[in-house]
Amino acid sequence: MLDYSHDDWKSRAAGLSFRGQAFIDGKFVDAVSGKTFDSINPATGAVLTPVSECDEEDINRAVAAGRAAFEGGRWSRMAPGDRKAVMLKLADLIRDNLEEMALLDSLDMGKLVTDAVTIDAPGSAHFFQWYAEAIDKVYDEVAPTGPGDLALVSRVPLGVVGAVTPWNFPLDMATWKAAAALAAGNSVVLKPAEQSPLSALRLAELAAEAGVPDGVFNVVPGFGATAGQALGLHMDVDCLAFTGSTAIGKMFMQYSGQSNLKQVWPETGGKSPNLVFADCEDLDAAADMAAFGIFFNQGEVCSANSRLYVERSIKDAFVEKLIARAQGTQPGDPLDPASKMGAIVDEKQTQGIMRFVEAGKKSANLVTGGERVTVDGKGCFVQPTIFDDVTHDNPLARDEIFGPVLSVIPFDTEEEAVRMANDSIYGLAASVWTDNLSRACRVSDKLMVGTVSVNTVDALSAQTPFGGMKQSGFGRDLSLHSLEKYTALKTTWIKYKA
């Protein structure tokens, strides 16, 4: 698999068939309106397939199917060990179709197929497997009440979980929500991002093949302002798990207040700082990971290390190392294993990134990149770009760009570095590079973020919670803690003759 050539991937892509219809109640169906929109490959501009443009009516159908399935109990009341078996089968099916799942994300949103086939698609299988294996090992509680009372404190599924996901890791974001919500016994109605709905639709089909009963896992593609809003405002959705921008995360909180007080779990934007201290012994490793932290997935990563704070004494030498790495990370055809970076998700995002870059050319020191480029004369591609001497109040240092654009800011003291790192509306993640153990612990302790990575970037696993503080939202995906989102605490008192 890892030996696939560019031609191998191109011929596999050419042979792919796409599912563009909504998946509701165990079947692929058109939108009630009959409308479709085009799924576009940003690397070429080519239309991949028409996709059902679902709106409120389709959301209503999917939620009704989810509710009926939940009340029918085939999934919600299935023994955890049996749900586990179905989800393990799904993990196997994802592995059996790994190249297809990887290609769907690569073609739909421009990421490198080699990343998709080694990271995203195996990750999806792994997360389904992890929650499958977990679900028959989670115990409830018996409260310490007196004799004559048996008080059970248990975690029960909520009912219908709505999930609204972004386009940067289409399969994995769908998986992070669905795997935990399904493991807990809920029904799910997922609205994937309109830029990249294809892998989630195929995932729903594989879930049905694995034995997930009809109505339990529905995928309803459509636009945010129609389908997304309908899910947010729905009176019969019990919980809404959202990953996307901070602005839309705030809207989901409002939708809840305007409707049925559904629980909302926003996981939103970021502007993650990476702090490099002069006492870091392996500055080459730090530079490798600093570059990875901003150029991986074209910088379209919520936790991307987009603010780089470097101690002034090593700043110039460190920036030289970064420039070399950026120049070795030029974009290319996402299907070419030799390419180092893929395409930006669409025209709109590309133009948004370039607006930041053009403004940056007037307000900071562009040291590499800074241009939009084409590959084979086509597509949405942006060079890996680094601005040095960015002032802390520059939009380059404050706003989420969501592209391959790094802002370098020097610091003189540990205290100043921590203060600037925390001076952000976001608090998703941070990295710290130092070989001074006390400093590593002290700085990590002070950073107001959901995840601190010391001497690495973006550390993440199924075993640890992922999510933010401040306006990065408060939802947590992954780990057993994610199950808490998708369950309610229920107390059952039983009187008996002691």
Residue 108 touches which member of ligand NAD, Mn ion, none, C-beta under 5-8 Å by kind: Mn ion
Instruction: Give me the least distance between CB of 429 and ligand NAD, in Å please.
Output: 9
Residue 256 touches which member of Mn ion, ligand NAD, none, C-beta under 5-8 Å by kind: none
- Which of the residues 40 through 59 are near Mn ion (CB under 5 A)? 40
Instruction: Give me the least distance between CB of 345 and Mn ion, in Å please.
Output: 7
Residue 26 touches which member of ligand NAD, Mn ion, none, C-beta under 5-8 Å by kind: none
Nearer to ligand NAD, 132 or 429 (CB): 429
Residues forming a β-bridge with 202: none
Which residues, in sequence order, are CB contacts of 34 under 8 Å at separation 6+?
none
| Contact status, residue 428 vs residue 303, Cβ threshold 8 Å | yes
CA distance 142 to 493: 10
Nearer to Mn ion, 130 or 169 (CB): 169
Active site (annotated) includes residue 267:
yes
Instruction: Give me the least distance between CB of 297 and Mn ion, in Å please.
Output: 15
CA distance 137 to 146: 27
Instruction: Give me the least distance between CB of 133 and ligand NAD, in Å please.
Output: 23
| Contact status, residue 192 vs residue 20, Cβ threshold 8 Å | no
Q: Which residues of 34-53 are buried (b: 16+ CB within 10 A; e: fewer)?
A: eebbebbbbbbeeebbebbb
Instruction: Give me the least distance between CB of 475 and ligand NAD, in Å please.
Output: 7
Which residues, in sequence order, are CB contacts of 212 under 8 Å at separation 6+?
75, 86, 90, 182
- Which of the residues 180 through 209 are near Mn ion (CB under 5 A)? 195
Residue 99 touches which member of Mn ion, ligand NAD, none, C-beta under 5-8 Å by kind: none
The contact pattern for Mn ion, residues 207-226, with x = CB under 5 A and - = no contact, is --------------------
Residue 244 touches which member of ligand NAD, Mn ion, none, C-beta under 5-8 Å by kind: ligand NAD
Closest CA to 158 of 491, 492, 485, 493: 485
Burial label for 340, CB within 10 Å (0-12, 13-18, 19+), is middle
Q: Does 388 bind Mn ion (CB under 5 A)?
A: no
**Residue 70, Cβ neighbours under 10 Å: how many?**
23
Nearer to ligand NAD, 11 or 461 (CB): 461
394 to 52, 163, 355, 387: CA distances (angstroms): 41, 34, 14, 11
Nearer to ligand NAD, 86 or 251 (CB): 251
Instruction: Give me the least distance between CB of 427 and ligand NAD, in Å please.
Output: 10
Active site (annotated) includes residue 53:
no
Phi and psi at residue 96, to the nearest 5°: -65, -25
Residue 168 touches which member of Mn ion, ligand NAD, none, C-beta under 5-8 Å by kind: ligand NAD
- Which of the residues 4 through 43 are near Mn ion (CB under 5 A)? 40
Residue 228 touches which member of ligand NAD, Mn ion, none, C-beta under 5-8 Å by kind: ligand NAD
Q: Tell me which residues touch ligand NAD (CB under 6 A).
A: 164-168, 191, 193-194, 223-225, 228-229, 232, 243-245, 248, 251, 267-270, 302, 400, 402, 428, 468, 472
Residue tagged active-site, from 100, 267, 300, 311: 267
The three state secondary structure string of 46-111 is: CEEEEEECECHHHHHHHHHHHHHHHHHCCCCCCCHHHHHHHHHHHHHHHHHCHHHHHHHHHHHHCC
Closest CA to 332 of 71, 28, 115: 115
Which residues, in sequence order, are CB contacts of 413 under 8 Å at separation 6+?
none
- Which of the residues 99 through 138 are near Mn ion (CB under 5 A)? 108
Nearer to Mn ion, 38 or 57 (CB): 38
Helices (H), ranges, 275-332 = 283-295, 312-327
Nearer to ligand NAD, 150 or 225 (CB): 225
Residue 196 corresponds to which tokens in the numbers above?
């990249």
Instruction: Give me the least distance between CB of 477 and ligand NAD, in Å please.
Output: 6
- Classify strands 469-470 and 426-427 as parallel, antiparallel or unpaired: antiparallel
Q: Identity (one letter) of the amino acid at 48?
A: L
Nearer to ligand NAD, 193 or 408 (CB): 193
Kindly state the number of chain residues that form the binding site for Mn ion, as judged by CB under 5 A. 3
Residue 182 touches which member of Mn ion, ligand NAD, none, C-beta under 5-8 Å by kind: none
Residue number of the CB atom closest to Mn ion = 108
Phi and psi at residue 344, to the nearest 5°: -75, 150
Residue tagged active-site, from 54, 302, 380, 400: 302
Instruction: Give me the least distance between CB of 311 and ligand NAD, in Å please.
Output: 28
Catalytic residues: 267, 302
Residues making contact with Mn ion (CB under 5 A) = 40, 108, 195
